[in-house]
Structure 1
Amino acid sequence: MATTRRKMIVFPSKNELSEAMAKYTANLSAKFCKQKGLFTVVLSGGDLIDWLSKLVQPPYIDSVEWSKWHVFWVDERVCSWEDPDSNYKLAMDSFLSKVPIPHKNIYAIDKNSATDGDAEHCAVLYEECLKNLVKENIIPISPKTGYPQFDLQLLGMGPDGHMASLFPGHPQINVKDKWVTHITDSPKPPPKRITFTLPVINSALYNLMAVCDKEQAHVVSEIMKENKPLPSARLSAQVENVWYLDQAAASML
């Protein structure tokens, strides 16, 4: 498994963090589009989508090679695409609908199974989707870990230290025999979700964790001091594991 050191950058405000995230993402997009002709990027939900807003503004809206993007979700709520809880809807409304990424390159949870509320089936189908994309040479397999290797994952963290839908005290954090697993008793509603497993998350080449606000400050401090074995403390990457914090989130360091 990856052993990259954690890198931390503190920004004066969310606005500066958002600007830096856009530049970071655009630079990696340019790097991978040039190297291999495509860019695989994994999104999470919550405030992260708002922080991506700078990408739909100049200079990025016109300079990023959007047609070469392939978009995935590190976790998703098991609900219809139109449900306000859906990470797909959040990303589509605020980001994806504003950039010219081909719809076929946006890989959402299976709509029918999500509407039916079958979390386990959704996880199975999403893993099958990833495996098909491995066969199509869209996603490579990491030679170091044997799991799918995404170019960039843009992640967020809850005030309890969870990332994706890997929660403290829940067994999903220890799953190694699957790429995608499910949870039906999430401590944060809605209870039914699917999520990448930790080995998949840590097989990404670049992982960027963005954390803002005072309510996150205590858990950020615990993770940076390595005081608690929280899910977010186990984040790594094959090349770079970087944390972007605003001043409020870093206030207890």
Structure 2
Amino acid sequence: MNFFSESNIQELQEMFWKNFEKSLLDLKNNEHIYIGLSGGTSLNYFYEKILKNFKNIEFEIRKKIIFVFVDERIVSLNHKDSNYKQIKDFFLGKLIDQNLINQDQIISINYDIENIADDYFSKVPYIDISLIGVGEDGHIASLFPKHILLQSKEKKYLSINDSPKKPSHRITISPEMIKDIKYGFIFFMGDAKQKALNNFFDNNLIYKDCPAKLINNTKNVFLFTDLKL
């Protein structure tokens, strides 16, 4: 694991960008580069850094990037709870406005069909690079502590109808999909995440107690925090 703890946000952003850019370069020969994004505000510093530097990525890499979502709330795309809306308003829409990506490079859910999770998995069969924020309870994506979905052995997107956080109906990457992520970037940002960070490093706890521990199954892990252990 690569662990970065820094109270200076600008320095933390620089460390993130250095490793994110290297990850893209390592994947430059892929046909597509799927980047999984998380909702919530804790990643905004890092989306901001990508936005500022995206134009410096060589064109042959930029055109291969596909932005996807590690989880999504089953609401319309213009709903205030939609991860798509939040991230597009703050980040992806500005890349489009600058002609750095096009709309086809963003894969959103089709919330009007019955099997939303299966449909999304047919479009997003894997994730190369994930940017995942951690909740106060240690959840990642929509995988919550002690939830039955943590027992799933399916390598696909899963449906959840009883999320502890509203809205209750969502889709999420499964624990098995997390194993195939090549570069897992995970973020514990803000004082409210101190307990989650402590639990992440507590060897007496397992991933069912702190789902963020699932990221340790990825091939390359980069942990960023403005907190101290």
Q: Is 1:234 aligned to 2:211, yes or no?
A: no
**Cα shift at 1:64:** 4.6
Q: Is 1:102 aligned to 2:95, yes or no?
A: no
Partner of residue 60, structure 1: 54
Amino acid aligned to 1:244: F
- Please point out which of 6, 9, 17 is paired with 2:12: 17
SS in 2 for 1:36: coil
Query: 4+ residue stretches of structure 1 with deviation over 6 A?
Result: none
- Please point out which of 58, 82, 91 is paired with 2:87: 91
**Cα shift at 1:91:** 1.3
SS in 1 for 2:14: helix
- Please point out which of 139, 144, 159 is paired with 1:167: 144
2:178/2:218 contact within 8 Å kept: no
- Find the aligned partners of 2:54 and 2:157 in 1 and give their Cα distance: 32
- Find the aligned partners of 1:155 and 1:39 in 2 and give their Cα distance: 16
- Cα displacement string for residues 116-140 of structure 1 (whole angstroms, at most 9, x for unaligned residues): xx5xx21121122235xxxxxxxxx
1:16/1:189 CA distance change after superposition, 3 Å: farther
1:238/1:158 CA distance change after superposition, 3 Å: closer
Q: State the TM-score, normalizing by the size of structure 1.
A: 0.80
Partner of residue 243, structure 1: 223
**Cα shift at 1:37:** 5.0
1:12/1:186 CA distance change after superposition, 3 Å: same
**Cα shift at 1:24:** 2.2
1:84/1:244 CA distance change after superposition, 3 Å: same
Amino acid aligned to 1:186: S
- Find the aligned partners of 1:106 and 1:174 in 2 and give their Cα distance: 29
The within-5 A match list for 1:135-154 is 148=126, 150-154=127-131
- Cα displacement string for residues 31-52 of structure 1 (whole angstroms, at most 9, x for unaligned residues): 322x235422111111214421
SS in 2 for 1:72: strand
Q: Is 1:129 aligned to 2:115, yes or no?
A: no
SS in 1 for 2:154: coil
- Find the aligned partners of 2:45 and 2:215 in 1 and give their Cα distance: 22
- Please point out which of 197, 204, 207 is paired with 1:220: 197
Partner of residue 46, structure 1: 40
- Cα displacement string for residues 53-98 of structure 1 (whole angstroms, at most 9, x for unaligned residues): 01222x4324353222111111001100001111111111111112
* Number of aligned residues: 219
SS in 2 for 1:173: helix
2:178/2:214 contact within 8 Å kept: no
Greater alpha carbon shift after TM alignment, 18-27 vs 77-86:
18-27
- Find the aligned partners of 1:73 and 1:92 in 2 and give their Cα distance: 11
Partner of residue 181, structure 1: 158
Over the matched positions of the two proteins, sequence identity in percent amounts to 27
Q: State the TM-score, normalizing by the size of structure 2.
A: 0.87
Amino acid aligned to 2:123: C
Gaps of 5+ in 1: 1-5, 132-147
1:93/1:174 CA distance change after superposition, 3 Å: same
